[in-house]
Structure 1
Amino acid sequence: MLVNQGWQEGNARWRSKILTRKLSYHNPIVGWNTQIPKPHNIPFRFRKVWISHKSLKDVVEASWNEPLYDVPIRKVVKKLKRLKQKLKSWSFEVFGNHAQHLKQLEEEMVQILKDQEN
């Protein structure tokens, strides 16, 4: 692998590893960027707290029972995708912004620890 100084400066988070030779006189090199950008399609996470809320079943039933016309296998995929969006919206309405709430709790914890030190 040959690179110049300009490439190294522009790719400071690039790492590589030389692998063992197998089929030729050359060693393969694998490289990767250590700073991976956040994906646009973040995986769906079901939150345990949702189970305790009385309206969860109604949200799921309403979404699943909405009519959808397609071949059966695509129907399932489309219904799951639709349900995912409905659950995200419902969760935000019922429980609020999870990340913001967590940040607020962390700030309160830091303040409690500071108060105990004094």
Structure 2
Amino acid sequence: MRILTWNCRGAAKPAFMSSFRRLVQIHSPEICFLYETRLSGRGLGRVLRRFEVDWETYVVESQGLSGGIVALWKRGVATVDVFHNCSQQVLMIISEPNVAPWVLCGVYASTAYRTRRALWDELTHLIAQGFPTAIVGDFNCILEGSEKRGGRAFTDSMDRREFRDFLSRNGLVDLGFSGPQFTWCNNQAGRARVWERLDRAIASTDWLTRFPSYRVSHLPRIASDHCPLLISTVSGSSHQSPFRFEKVWLSLPQSWDIVRGAWSLPVRGDAMQRVSRKLELTKRRLRR
């Protein structure tokens, strides 16, 4: 399954629909989350009528020109049940053939960290239900200094500590990415320009076990100051053979380099979560 998540910064602007259709044409997502649509009422209805007829939709209307989420999924690809929403999220249960149900949450976190606390609390309650869970979208917060370039120097502020605590407390893993390092730019010139990684995908460890061959790609920015993200899963019912350690690897110097490289990467979580994540990274790199 392919999931496209994008803070489009306004779905009524002329460039939006052609850009969205282009993304769908190139990447063929089955599920899409669009954030900061800035749509409600009649304006929302006009835009929804322009989507292709094979999309199902679920909408969280904006408050004036602030916020707004549109979730879309292809008819017939999977059974999608939207079972909860608030202004900062849309939650789905995804049921695919031969795959046990799992939870997908599209997040557009508030820029106000006190409001984000309510989101962390709601997601904590969700994760406690025990479903394999992936959470994708615009978190409006960074975790560390490497996720920012330009502007004021990084400080370990309370909102960032709360974000890290939320991940650690719930055993959630940042899924990483390929592509551009940052997902947002303020588009200012010279020294005023700031880049940050505000958008990401995170998941529970049982989701990682279910979809060990996932991929997260930062796509080029288009018609927005945020870049789209594409998350691809390979279900447990795929024909990929089980992972087996080959003794010949012990005699190959590059195998040791792969293992050292995977275990040197910074991974968050408690001790067992870090070990699990590094083992998964090692396995994925040895498969290549």
| TM beyond 0.5 | no
Which has the higher relative contact order, 1 or 2, with Cα contacts under 8 A spaced 6 or more apart?
A: 2
Larger radius of gyration: 1
Greater strand percent: which structure?
A: 2
Report the structure, 1 or 2, having the larger helix content: 1
